[in-house]
Amino acid sequence: MIKPHGSETLQPLFVQDAATRQALLKEAESLPSLLLNSAAAANAVMLGAGYFNPLRGYMNLADALSVAERMHTTDGLFWPVPIVNLTDDVSAIEGAQRIALRDPNVEGNPVLAVMDVEGIEVVPEERIQFMAEHIFGTLDPNHPGVATFVGLGNYLVSGPLQVLNFSYFETDFPDTFRTAAAIREEIRERGWKKVVAFQTRNPMHRAHEELCRMALERLGADGLVIHMLLGKLKPGDIPAAVRDACIRKMVDVYFPANTAMICGYGFDMLYAGPREAVLHAVFRQNMGASYLIVGRDHAGVGDYYGPFDAQSIFDEKVPAGALEIEIFRADHTAYSKKLDRVVMMREAPDHSKEDFVILSGTKVREMLGQGIAPPPEFSRPEVAQILMDYYRETAGEGGA
C-alpha cells in the first residue's frame, strides 16, 4: 500500500490506550482550558485520526506563514494549508505549559485533547490577511472560507497534542466516520492494492457515479473509497446524514460487491479551491489511496476559482516527489442524449450544450422542493426519493 505522507508509518495523535486516555482526562480536570472554535476542533480531529500525518500538533506562526506562502513548513515538509489553533481570547491559558482543549461542538464542551503549549503568539491583522490571501486566493469577505478564517482570532496557540476523542463524528456517524488508520486496515482486509478516492460534500448524482466508474476502469484500480466530509458546511448545503443515506443507496443498488467502500472524515469545509484540493490529496494518501479524483471546481465556491485551477496547482506548485498519490483529472460529466450514457464533456467534441442533460443545483433544489424527481439521466430514482423526502420535511418545518 502507498506510504503515508512524510513518514514510513502512520502516526495518529489519538491516544489508543484506554487507561492512558482516562488518566489524561483526569489530568485535564486540573489544567487550564481553552474552548476551541470549530475550525481548530476539526484540525484536532484530523490530527487524531491520522489524516494530517506527520504533523504532531498545531503549527506555530513561522510554520503557518511559510506554509501559506510556500506550501512548506520551515523544516521543509510539504504541506498545503496552515493547520493552526487561532483564538480570540487566551486569558485563561496565559503562562500555562499544558492545557485542556475543549470541544465547541458537543454539549458541555468536553475535553477533546490535551496540549503542550510551545507558544502563544499575537498575530497582527496584516499577517492574518497575508495567510488568508495565500490560502484562498482572495480577501473577499463574501468568500465563506475567508470570512471564517479572518474571524477566528489573533492569538495563535501552537504545540503537540494528545487527542482523546473524535468529537461528535463518532457518535453522530458511527457507520460512516473512519480514521485514516481504520481505512488503511479495511483496504488491507479487502485485498485492494490500487485505490481511488472520491471526495464529496454533496449527494452523488449519475455524473458523480459514472465518474467514479471511469476512474476505476481507466486506472485499473481494485476499489473506490467514497470519502465524504462530515463537518460544517455553508448554509443551504445538504446535511451529512442525508448525503450519507443517498450515497449508501446508490452504492447498494448500482455498484458490484467489494468495489466501493463508504466512509467519512471529521473536518469543516474550507472552500479553498486549489489549496484544499492539495490538502485532500495529502490526507487521502495518508488513508491509503493511490489516486484522488479531482474534478471541475474541486473544493471551490462561487466564481472564485477557474474550473481547472484545482488540477493545475498539482503541475505548477506541487514539487515533483512531494506526494506519492496521483490525481485523476476529470472534466465536467453529464448525460449525453446522443450516446445514451454519461460522458466527460471534453470527450464529446461533436456535442452541443443541448445534447447534454445539465441541471443547475438551484434548479434541482427547486424540483426536489416541489416533490418533482429530476430526470433519471441526472439522478437515480432511489437517490431522488431520499432527497425529495428531505426537502419535503424541511419545507414542512419552514426551512425551504
Question: Do residues 110 and 165 touch, judged by C-beta distance below 8 A?
Answer: yes
Query: Which position among 127, 190, 201, 248 bears the catalytic label?
Result: 201
**Cα end-to-end distance, the chain, whole Å:** 45
Asked if omega into 319 is within 30° of 0 (cis), the reply is no
- Tell me 201's DSSP state: S
Comparing C-alpha atoms, which of 301, 354, 295 is closest to residue 330? 295
C-alpha cell at 286: 495518508
Query: Which position among 21, 109, 202, 248 bears the catalytic label?
Result: 202
Beta-bridge partners for 328:
293
- In the residue annotation, 202 being an active-site residue is answered as yes
Please provide the size of the chain in residues: 400
Distance CA 130, CA 211 (A): 36
Distance CA 284, CA 275 (A): 14
Burial of 106 (C-beta count, 10 Å sphere; 0-12/13-18/19+): middle
- In the residue annotation, 365 being an active-site residue is answered as no
CB neighbour list of residue 207: distance below 8 Å, 6 or more residues apart: 332, 333, 334, 335, 342, 378
Question: Do residues 49 and 113 touch, judged by C-beta distance below 8 A?
Answer: no
Positive/negative CA dihedral, 340, 344, 347, 348: positive
Residues labelled catalytic: 201-202
